[in-house]
Amino acid sequence: MDQNKAPINSHGFLIDAAGDIIRYTGEKMLFKEQLTNGELPLLYTYGGKSFDIADVMGVFDVFDGKPLLAKSTDNGRPCTRDQGGHLVNERGYLITNEGHICNR
């Protein structure tokens, strides 16, 4: 049970009487059969490779007093780059010139 006395599984997800993961509104999100030992299934890329969040994150050094994301300009327009010179968005994810999240 969570703090609101709603049933949860061993991983802390809200569940209904059948063990399906639900939203707080009661809407089913995943059926029990889709879970692996009560855990969410792994995400996969289109090529069948297991998804790794590090593949879409920029690389940064963090120093006291220095901004995490260094701002610069590219052809007169503002942009942000990671240590490897890759474009990143305001959350540190790698992006294309059009602003779409991409991998290395």
pLDDT tens digits, one per residue of 58-81: 887 766 666 555 566 566 556 788
Residues 104 and 60 in one domain: yes
The verdict on pTM exceeding 0.85 is: no
Single-letter code of the amino acid located at 32: K
pLDDT for residue 16: 92
Total residues found in the chain within this entry? 104
For residue 92, the 8-state DSSP code is S
Q: Which residues contact 101 (CB under 8 A, 6 or more apart)?
A: 56, 89, 93, 94, 95
Q: Which domain holds residue 78?
A: 42-104
For residues 80 and 87, the answer to whether their CB atoms sit within 8 Å is yes
**pLDDT, position 66:** 63
The candidate with the shortest Cα–Cα distance to 74, out of 63, 61, 85, 90, is: 85
Report the candidate in 53, 56, 61 with the shortest Cα–Cα distance to residue 93: 56
For residue 32 the two structure tokens come to 């029990």
My answer on whether 19 and 3 are in the same domain is yes
CA–CA distance, 96 with 68 (Å, rounded to integer) = 20
**Residue numbers of the chain with a pLDDT score lower than 50:** none
Do 27 and 46 have their domain in common? Answer: no
* Domain count of the fold of the chain: 2
Looking at the structure, do residues 27 and 66 belong to the same domain, yes or no?
no
